[in-house]
Amino acid sequence: MVHPVNFVLLFGGLFRFSLAASRTSPPAGAVVVRSGTTAAGEFATISAAVSSLPNDKTSQSIFIFPGTYTEQVDITRTGPLTIYGYTNDTSSYGGNQATLQAGVPASTAGSDDASGTLRIHTDNFSMYNVNVKNTFGIGSQAIAISQYGNRVGLYACGFYGYQDTLYANKGAQVYLKGYIEGAVDFIFGRTGLAYFGGNTIAVKAPGCITASGREANDTGSYVFNQNTIVLATGSSVSSTSGKVFLGRPWGDFAKVVFKNTIVTTPLNTALWSIWNTGDPRTHEVFLADFNTTGSGVTGVSRANFSTLLSATQAASYSIASAVGSDYTTWVDTAYLV
Domain boundary, last residue among 182, 209, 237: 182
Amino acid at residue number 257: V
What is the number of domains present in the chain? Answer: 2
- The active-site residue out of 123, 185, 289, 332 is 185
Note the pLDDT of residue 124: 99
Q: How far from chain centre, in Å, is Cα 265? A: 20
pLDDT along the chain (337 residues), means of 10: 41 53 97 98 98 98 99 98 99 98 99 99 99 98 99 99 99 99 99 99 99 97 99 97 98 99 98 98 98 98 99 99 98 98
CB 43 within 8 A of CB 33: yes
| Per-residue pLDDT, 212 | 99
Residue 56, in any domain of the structure:
yes
Q: State the CB neighbour count (10 A cutoff) for residue 283.
A: 9
pLDDT score, position 172: 99
DSSP state of 195: E
* Residue 133 shares a structural domain with residue 274: no
Same domain, 247 and 295: yes
Q: So what's the pLDDT on residue 4?
A: 38
Which of 182, 212, 238 is the last residue in one of the domains?
A: 182
Tell me, yes or no, whether 154 and 223 share the same domain. no
Q: Decide which of 182, 214, 234 is a domain's last residue.
A: 182
How confident is the model at residue 9, as a pLDDT?
A: 45
- Could you please report the per-residue DSSP string of 221-283? EEEEES-EEEEPTT--HHHHTT-EEEEEESSTT-EEEEES-EE-SPPPTT-B--SBTTB---T
> For position 19, what pLDDT does the model report?
76
Q: Residue 238 is part of a domain; what is its CATH number?
A: 2.160.20.10
Q: Which residues contact 143 (CB under 8 A, 6 or more apart)?
A: 106, 112, 113, 115, 116, 117, 134, 161, 164, 165, 166, 167
pLDDT recorded at residue 18: 60
The boundaries of the domain holding residue 206 are 197-323
| 74 part of the active site | no
The answer to whether 258 and 287 are in contact (CB under 8 A) is no
